[in-house]
Structure 1
């Protein structure tokens, strides 16, 4: 008789140590992200002209099509670092983490997919057959840094295995979001640039396979990969996740140790600063309630995320005859589902891509992401308090 699969069982000592480091880095990044977003909102509403001028200030090389605004550099350049880390985290989970065992991996992968599909369906229901329908990808993403920051503050005593589930869920979610960006938010392709990028990625992968070390090999190669993917018409953040997935596991731990603080402590907060500065003066609750974009995003993140995550995970567990580890309950998973509704970084990125030709809709989308993330964070914090008491008993 086959052994019954246990979900979220205690990790090994090595895996627990790796998870602890990753969670601490993401928690710090989440706090910095929140501070950066608050500064942006305050500045934008005190003096939107100066904030907008800074965001739109262009630097770079026009001949190379790289004379970009600071906001664009943050979205295309700095977020590539964030996705590079996400790619390495996913590689780690696939090789030695919770995604290594297919029977166990099926549940968080399905939960992540459900947590992407449900919000997209809800958004589409509000915006069907409207110009704003292109924003269906906005409520699909979970902000790993922001969510883990909430978990660190409100759910510190919860088992690390459940926090690992959130990390795995968010990493798979990030990969799904980058696939959505590459396929559905790419206007046109430059096939020559894409071919060069593919060749450079092949060289990158071979160097990793041969255990070649040295930043002087990889830094110029990474620059070529990023530039050619940027030129191909695909969003440049795809370069980051592609290189992360190609990393040799032995080297990736060392690289993550060096790059993760740059991603969590600088890249993501700077992107948040340039993306969260929405002008809200003159807007009312009626304006938000009357916007199909805002309603689709808010209900998608706050309601669609937990329904998708928990419902899909429960169905997968039931039909694969898997069960939770004895110290956990489905209420714990439901709490993580609520927390998964904290969307920020990738949601704001997709909002910019979906509505780049309509500033008014983009501003409403940004405001809706901020509202939804705040509501989800508050609800999750309340739920976490109940789960802390339950585990204490």
Structure 2
């Protein structure tokens, strides 16, 4: 039995360690949703997400369909992780210096402005014009997965540029959601939520941080945003700003205290032998190790590390399963024009916007091309920027209430994202092969 479990567990662990594994799971969830939505059990699959889940305590009740719990609840954690990444990059990463951040900033601005303008122009006078924000977003999971498929030939500068661009693009999407896809605002709730966030930032700035207090306050802020009219996922981004990027213990202290705890653990091993039941002293040593380990990493980095797996392997696939299911129909049950306009905006708008704004920034000496990166490879990455998927599907649910428009937009998002990803992959594959051949000659 143990041998069987090992045979199953080891390949699974190896798969999870692969950088492409999260994008593979996301892809499989998407395919599953599409298959089920176009299968004989379509009605059961679609109606499942409409079942209500109610949380009720004295004086408070929250009742929502499963789809809303996913999009308003689980995705708040996704946005919290985005907020952590944005804050870390601004404070210590690729966005910490203007010179380093200028190219991805220009690229992200181009990747937001041109797709929105393209869609607005193409869809002018047609139903669904309020969906201009849908083609603006990029999906970092799929784009990094595609880069990983190309292997070690991809220059590190290209990967860094894509990650920085995607983070800025996500920030832009958050601002678009907050300012343009929120309605019927209740300013009292917003004011209370912002006051709590401000108080937590002040506590963090003064050196106080308690994961329990911040978690409880985070739940309260989430509920307040949920009731305020501003989409509740914005609460996730704001709460991320309250998490400090400051370590309580230095690496030397970690080593010394960790060594002390391990020595105490091993002393009891020598005295009592290798028993199934640990001694109280050994348990205390384990607790001390856990405490010192958590304190050695900054709370922001610790949470980012812990949440990344949950978001990549659970939350995003569940979101895709619940939202990517669309019946592919080109009859009167769909708005073919809307699907086409969104697909064009994702592919042409993003590729042109990202590349042209990057080119302008380089030519005007506002930015420079990353080391070992060519303009042809930059063009390939520009197409990858049109792979919207997760964020595009999310904004789609905010932009439209009509089922026909939602499904038609989903069709456009899936088609456009597929074309953008495929074209970007092919361009990079050709240009990277050329680069490899030149290096060998």
Q: With the length of structure 2 as denominator, give the TM-score of the two structures.
A: 0.79
Name which of 112, 120, 136 aligns with 2:108: 112
Aligned to 2:308: 260
Question: Which residues in structure 2 correspond to 1:89-238 (within 5 Å)?
Answer: 89-238=85-234
Q: Which residue of 2 aligns with 1:300?
A: 345
Residue matched to 1:277 = 325
**3-state secondary structure, aligned to 1:60:** strand
SS in 2 for 1:51: helix
Kindly indicate whether residue 36 of structure 2 is the aligned counterpart of residue 43 of structure 1.
Answer: yes
1:366 equivalenced with 2:360 (yes/no): no
Using the TM superposition, give the Cα deviation of residue 262 of structure 1 relative to its aligned residue in structure 2, in angstroms: 1.1
Distance change in 2, residues 1:219/1:55 (3 Å):
same
Aligned residue number for residue 25 of structure 2 = 32
In structure 1, which of residues 335, 357, 362 is the aligned counterpart of residue 380 of structure 2? 335
Q: Deviations over 1:261-318 (max 9, x none)?
A: 11111111111110001122x436x998x72311221111111111111100111122
Shift of 1:112: 0.2
Q: Tell me, which stretches of 5 or more residues in structure 1 are unaligned?
A: 1-23
Distance 2:299 2:193 in 1: 22
What residue is the counterpart of 2:357 in the other structure? 312
- 5+ unaligned residues in a row in structure 2: which ranges? 1-16, 246-297
Out of 77, 81, 84, the residue aligned to residue 80 of structure 2 is 84
Measured in 1, the distance between the counterparts of 2:336 and 2:205 equals 51
Q: Partners of 1:215 and 1:263 in 2: how far apart?
A: 19
Mapped partners of 1:265, 1:68: distance in 2: 24
Structure with the greater relative contact order (CA < 8 A, sep ≥ 6): 1 or 2?
1
Change (3 A) 1:129 1:246: farther
CA deviations on 1:3-61 (whole Å, 9 max, x unpaired) are: xxxxxxxxxxxxxxxxxxxxx78743322211111111111111111111211111023
Rate the CA distance shift 1:194–1:26 in 2: closer, same or farther, 3 A. farther
Inter-partner Cα distance in structure 2 for 1:272 and 1:326: 35
Shift of 1:65: 6.1
Cα displacement string for residues 182-217 of structure 1 (whole angstroms, at most 9, x for unaligned residues): 111112101111011101111221232233343211
How many aligned residue pairs are there? 366
TM-score normalised to the size of structure 1?
Answer: 0.88
Specify the alignment match of 2:432 in structure 1. Answer: 388
Structure with greater Cα Rg? 2
